[in-house]
């Protein structure tokens, strides 16, 4: 820790996510962020998901927020657009933005922590698994 830097337990760490289908990769990211300080999740709004991904999220913003607030690594959840801009960080007094290696947010490097994504899982991958499971159920109704 350098002079003038707040202890890690006081730093505010933002993690942005859609969390349309929550999975262990999200939990690992939140756990890593919690080691850096207080975790504020910037949760993508339903309208932004419809605009950027082209579909209605499986769970509404309110439902996703409720789930995230129940996770011990999450201290606060705030709505956000698809891309996080420095203004949002300033508004919520955020010290660092934590994101996976696919970061496209226009954030200064000194406010950004890039963490590796969990291999083999994403919300898109999870959707494919659900479709596969539904096809299996259709082939073998109980």
pLDDT attached to residue 44: 97
pLDDT attached to residue 1: 43
pLDDT attached to residue 27: 94
The residue ranges of the chain whose pLDDT is under 50 are 1-3, 8-9
pLDDT attached to residue 91: 97
Which tokens in the block code for residue 50? 């419809």
Contact 110, 86 (CB under 8 A): no
pLDDT attached to residue 103: 83
C-alpha to C-alpha distance for 73 and 54, rounded to whole angstroms: 30
pTM, to two decimals: 0.82
pLDDT attached to residue 39: 98
DSSP assigned state of 10: T
Q: C-alpha distances in angstroms, 63 versus 12, 52, 67, 121?
A: 24, 20, 6, 21
**Quick one: which of 51, 5, 29 has its CA closest to 103?**
29
C-alpha to C-alpha distance for 116 and 136, rounded to whole angstroms: 32
C-alpha to C-alpha distance for 73 and 40, rounded to whole angstroms: 9
């Amino acid at each position: 820790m350098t002079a003038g830097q707040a202890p890690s337990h006081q730093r505010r760490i933002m993690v942005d996510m859609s969390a349309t289908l929550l999975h262990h990769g999200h939990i690992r990211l939140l756990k890593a962020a919690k080691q850096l300080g207080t975790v504020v999740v910037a949760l993508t709004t339903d309208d932004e998901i419809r605009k950027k991904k082209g579909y209605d999220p499986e769970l509404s913003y309110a439902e996703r927020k409720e789930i995230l607030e129940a996770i011990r690594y999450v201290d606060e959840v705030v709505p956000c657009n698809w891309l996080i801009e420095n203004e949002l960080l300033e508004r919520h007094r955020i010290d660092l933005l934590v994101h996976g290696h696919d970061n496209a947010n226009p954030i200064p490097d000194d406010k950004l922590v890039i963490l590796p994504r969990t291999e083999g899982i994403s919300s898109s991958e999870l959707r494919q698994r659900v479709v596969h499971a539904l096809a299996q159920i259709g082939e073998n109704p109980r």
